[in-house]
Structure 1
Amino acid sequence: MSTSVETASGQQEQTGSSRNLMLALVVIASAQLMIVLDASIVNIALPHIQSDLGFTDANRQWVVTAYALAFGSLLLLGGRLGDLFGRRRMFFWGVVLFAVASLLGGIAPNEELLLASRGLQGAGAALASPAALALINTTFPAGKERNRAMAVYAAMSGAGAAVGLILGGVLTEIDWRWTFFVNVPIGLLVAALAPRYLVESEGRDATVDVPGAVVGTAGLFGIVYGLSHAAEQGASWGDWQTLVPLIGGIALLGLFVLVEQRAKHPLLPMRILGDRNRAVSLFAMLLVGAGMFGMFFFLGLFIQQVLGYSPVKAGLSLLPFSVGIAIGAGIASNLLSRVDPRWIAGSGGLLAAFGMWGYTHLTVDSTYVSGLLPWIVVQSIGMAFLFIPLTMTSTARISANDSGAAASALNTAQQIGGAVGVAALSTVFSSAATDKGKELMAQVMQQAQAKGLPAPHTAAEKAAAAKQFQAQYGPEIQTFASTQGFWVAAGMLLIGAIATFIFLNVKHEELATDGQEAVHVG
């Protein structure tokens, strides 16, 4: 009788523990989805935000870049704060800050306040996201349970961009401001549940690496600002506002490495990057983030401004990406117990690059079914095959004390990759659009001269001619420029795939026994 009671009690305890683990995963995954989708949710709303608040074509990218830049440049600090003061605490305050910043973005009356709110959103995400990943490492036992939790987390990271576009389309039909307001109730609910279902990590008696935080953040900002300025209409790579930030940013990142090597409690311990497999994983994730964020940025504009889709239809047109990510994540998660990560991630990189190559064939006459859908499906599965193993290998065999820093390094690679990707591909887009515009304008002028038509002289005539030219040739210019950006993005993904095949050397058995002690939620 006693044995039966004890058995029943043990089963009940195990069931309760499993239920709490599942709820903990729901809380973490919800926060990660909210954070990642906010990097893309405004892409569909960009044309409406631009016309409502008066953004120029050159400045509109900052609505996306400001978030990615703040997020990526502060992630290292956010991860270390979680290690020092408690990951659940940083997760909670990060989500709260994110919700408050979203409210400010929703009520923003001008572009200055909107960009400031995007920066605050990024800061909140920088606190919450590395804490979320580190909590998975310390909450779920190594093996099947942690692999499944990691797969869900990585799927949220991969599908979040597509979900953001879908949700952004639906909400933009109501009002673009709802793309910000929607985060408020979700964020507050996640913050309320976090203390109940997430286990707090032990804090450490150490100081924050302020010099490393300042130098690292300034270096990352300089690089992205320089690339963004080069993307502006009429800007040149030889312009001092491009060169000075770029050179200064690179120099500051070099100084950051020196500061971290000498710091007693470094923001990013160099031993994390000293592991070859982790360094390769972070490098590949950097390129994946660059390609993916750039792809969504250009596809969102192409679908609306060339295909002429409404915001809702544009968002729904990317639903297959989310479905493909979910299917690919399930397959990749199962394969990880039998296949080494390099083969999964490398194959995923090739598939993703192939899908990106497909977009380079877009024309103004392309249709969604034949011109976009097949490549969206191929790329989504490839992205899932990249995200799942790279998330695992970047945090494998890491000590509990460094798990927050490792998690923040992974997120930094993805977000800075996204910021640099949007800026760099916008530079490619801008240059290609300028060249194509000049080519078409020369053809129009030759045709006008051949027909004996007078050239416009007055300001009104020139404005009318420019408007007519844009209406007639704008979609062709945008499509051509977008395809040039897709070529570069495909190259980025291909390099990531090759690097993964050659240098990543983690055995699948190591992912199930990484030596970390899991803290069970009970």
Structure 2
Amino acid sequence: MSCLALFMVVLDATIVTVALPDMRAGLGLSTDQQQWVVSGYLITLGGFLLLAARAGDLFGHKRVFLFGAVLFTVASLIGGLASGPVVLIAARIVQGAGASALTPTSLSLITASHTDEREREHALALWSMMGGIAGLAGVVLGGVLTAELSWRWVLFVNIPPGIALIAAGLLFLLPPTRTERIRLDLPGGLCVTLGIGALTYGLSEASSEGWGSPDTLVPLIAAAVLIAGFLVAEARGSNPLIPLDLLRPRTLRIANVLMFCLGVTLTALLFFLSLYCQQVLGYSALRTGMAMLPVTVIFIVGGLTSRQLVPVVGPRRMLVTGGLISATGIAWLATIPTHSAYVPHILLPNLVGGFGVSIMLLAVTISGTSGVAPRNAGAASGLLNTSRQIGGAVGLAVLVNIASSVTSHGSDGEGRLDALVQGYRVAFLVNGGLMLVAALAALALPAVAVKGKAAEPLDDQTAPTRP
């Protein structure tokens, strides 16, 4: 059930990517609105993750899980029936809110139900691998559904599994045991969500309006004020979304930086590759989805490889290695020509980059959840997933800004497609540099103790406990 919930949440972050050209044609989406079909979902998903995670700790994971499943399913139906851009984007925003309730509770249910260390590692490996597979499966499934049915089915497809999750939650999840009245940090949740949204909007406006425009400066200033308000609320609140002692472990802090980088890569690569295949190479939605299929396979291989190697070499070495491999693959993508061949310019660099990312997911999840007190399990998992989604939303806005600026600058002296591809190249190059930074950041992880086949990070502040 936890893996199905995560699969749905991550799937919806990418399944619309291949359908964006058809959505644009059917509903008259502008370029900015296309980005917001993706970013709107990620912003509310990332912004409300902390609030939903804390709500699960305080009020019971069953209640929050069921609320998220219902909200996600209903929003999928409304989005699929949308008659205009506003309804579609609004439905995606509500979908993100529902997904924010599903994600941290799904991870918390795993950590709470698997008390044996070895069983927990197996469950975390499956959970992490499922997230990576879902992100790429969304591109394949989105292409098939868009080509064979219509773009609306990339949203309708959520309804059957959503109903299944609601039924399973009602039947199998234990009722909450907490009965005391506790005040939830709603102001903090709203501040961080609105702050991230304002930051992303400001960054997206910069490419078309310029950095000195009020349309750019006002939301960026608002974002700074809202995020500062969030930090004040956390410092002074009696029930903060992020307890201060949660941020003590160095392992957790570094893991969130790494997860932010992974969020950028997983979101931006699929976004730009989908547009490149359809707008530059002239691929259909179905062909674009099929072009991404081998990457799904490499994610499975990478996840299985990571499960075997992390206990032997430790999370730090796995993260450094994965970061270097992914940086190499993404830098390779930065060489794409206007008229490319599939194998050398798309397939091979994607396999290299995808493998590097896939072997990092389990290691960063283990690093971020080890040694956290049970009372803060939901908050820690929420923070980790927040970093991934915020990375996707903010990173996509920054890279779209960079690509658009390069394209606009080059369109005067080059053909339209050549200028478009040049923008994609620079975006890939910046993304590859970010993954190189992630590999260097992983070097700062604490030492790892290896005993037999089990490995756990030892933090300078908090040592992991064994059940």
Q: Provide the TM-score with structure 1 as the length reference.
A: 0.85
CA contact (8 A) 1:142 1:511 kept: no
Shift of 1:311: 0.9
Question: Which one-letter code corresponds to 1:346 in the other structure?
Answer: V
Alignment-derived partner of residue 483 in structure 1? 425
Correspondent of 1:98 among 52, 60, 72: 72
CA contact (8 A) 2:211 2:217 kept: yes
Distance in 1, Cα, partners of 2:44 & 2:213:
25
Question: Which one-letter code corresponds to 1:125 in the other structure?
Answer: A
Alignment-derived partner of residue 462 in structure 1? none
Seen in structure 2, the aligned counterparts of structure 1 residues 341 and 199 have a Cα distance that, compared at 3 Å, is: farther
1:277 equivalent to 2:251? Answer yes
CA contact (8 A) 1:209 1:263 kept: yes
Question: Which one-letter code corresponds to 1:483 in the other structure?
Answer: R
Matches within 5 A, 1:75-94: 75-94=49-68
Alignment-derived partner of residue 161 in structure 1? 135
Shift of 1:349: 0.9
Distance in 2, Cα, partners of 1:200 & 1:307:
53
CA contact (8 A) 1:169 1:312 kept: yes
Question: Which one-letter code corresponds to 2:399 in the other structure?
Answer: L
- Report Cα offsets for 1:302-357 as digits up to 9, x if no partner: 11122221111111111111111111111111222222210001111111111110
Matches within 5 A, 1:233-272: 233=208, 235-272=209-246
SS across alignment from 1:510: strand
Alignment-derived partner of residue 436 in structure 1? 410
Shift of 1:516: 6.8
- Report Cα offsets for 1:37-78 as digits up to 9, x if no partner: 101101100000011101112321111111011111111111
Shift of 1:211: 2.3
Shift of 1:149: 0.9
Question: Which one-letter code corresponds to 1:209 in the other structure?
Answer: D
CA contact (8 A) 2:117 2:466 kept: no
Question: Which one-letter code corresponds to 1:92 in the other structure?
Answer: L
SS across alignment from 1:406: helix
Question: Which one-letter code corresponds to 1:114 in the other structure?
Answer: L
Question: Which one-letter code corresponds to 2:92 in the other structure?
Answer: R
Shift of 1:94: 0.5
Alignment-derived partner of residue 510 in structure 1? 456
Matches within 5 A, 1:353-432: 353-432=327-406
CA contact (8 A) 1:143 1:511 kept: no
CA contact (8 A) 2:54 2:378 kept: yes
Distance in 2, Cα, partners of 1:100 & 1:277:
38
Distance in 1, Cα, partners of 2:68 & 2:349:
36
1:46 equivalent to 2:16? Answer no
- Report Cα offsets for 1:193-249 as digits up to 9, x if no partner: 123344455436321012212222222222111112113x3x101112212222331
Alignment-derived partner of residue 452 in structure 1? none
Question: Which one-letter code corresponds to 1:175 in the other structure?
Answer: S
Seen in structure 2, the aligned counterparts of structure 1 residues 506 and 209 have a Cα distance that, compared at 3 Å, is: farther
1:229 equivalent to 2:210? Answer no
Alignment-derived partner of residue 210 in structure 1? 186
Shift of 1:254: 2.8
SS across alignment from 2:301: helix
Q: How many residues align?
A: 457
Question: Which one-letter code corresponds to 1:476 in the other structure?
Answer: D
Distance in 2, Cα, partners of 1:316 & 1:154:
23
Distance in 2, Cα, partners of 1:328 & 1:199:
34
CA contact (8 A) 2:251 2:457 kept: no
Structure 1 alignment gaps of length 5 or more: 1-26, 441-472, 518-522
Between the aligned residues of both structures, percent identity stands at 36
CA contact (8 A) 1:138 1:516 kept: no
- Report Cα offsets for 1:344-372 as digits up to 9, x if no partner: 01111111111110110001121111111
Correspondent of 2:434 among 479, 488, 492: 492
Q: Which moved more, 1:431-440 or 1:252-261?
A: 252-261
CA contact (8 A) 1:397 1:516 kept: no
CA contact (8 A) 1:307 1:367 kept: no
1:474 equivalent to 2:416? Answer yes
Seen in structure 2, the aligned counterparts of structure 1 residues 401 and 493 have a Cα distance that, compared at 3 Å, is: same
Structure 2 alignment gaps of length 5 or more: none
CA contact (8 A) 2:43 2:193 kept: no
Q: Which moved more, 1:287-296 or 1:101-110?
A: 287-296
Shift of 1:157: 1.8
Correspondent of 1:180 among 155, 161, 168: 155
CA contact (8 A) 1:72 1:416 kept: yes
Alignment-derived partner of residue 10 in structure 1? none
Distance in 2, Cα, partners of 1:272 & 1:193:
32
Question: Which one-letter code corresponds to 1:391 in the other structure?
Answer: T
Distance in 2, Cα, partners of 1:65 & 1:256:
21
Matches within 5 A, 1:319-338: 319-338=293-312
SS across alignment from 1:502: coil
Distance in 2, Cα, partners of 1:362 & 1:317:
15
CA contact (8 A) 2:314 2:456 kept: no
Distance in 2, Cα, partners of 1:56 & 1:212:
32
Seen in structure 2, the aligned counterparts of structure 1 residues 324 and 204 have a Cα distance that, compared at 3 Å, is: farther
Alignment-derived partner of residue 107 in structure 1? 81
1:342 equivalent to 2:284? Answer no
Correspondent of 1:145 among 111, 119, 125: 119
Seen in structure 2, the aligned counterparts of structure 1 residues 93 and 378 have a Cα distance that, compared at 3 Å, is: same
Shift of 1:474: 2.8
1:69 equivalent to 2:43? Answer yes
SS across alignment from 1:317: helix
Shift of 1:511: 6.3
CA contact (8 A) 1:230 1:236 kept: yes
Larger Rg: 1
Distance in 1, Cα, partners of 2:158 & 2:464:
35
CA contact (8 A) 2:47 2:193 kept: yes
- Report Cα offsets for 1:253-295 as digits up to 9, x if no partner: 2332222122111111122222111000001111110122111
Alignment-derived partner of residue 308 in structure 1? 282
Shift of 1:192: 0.8
1:195 equivalent to 2:137? Answer no
- Report Cα offsets for 1:70-116 as digits up to 9, x if no partner: 11111111111111111122112211211110000000000110011
Q: Which moved more, 1:364-373 or 1:106-115?
A: 364-373
Q: Provide the TM-score with structure 2 as the length reference.
A: 0.94
Shift of 1:140: 1.2
SS across alignment from 1:364: coil
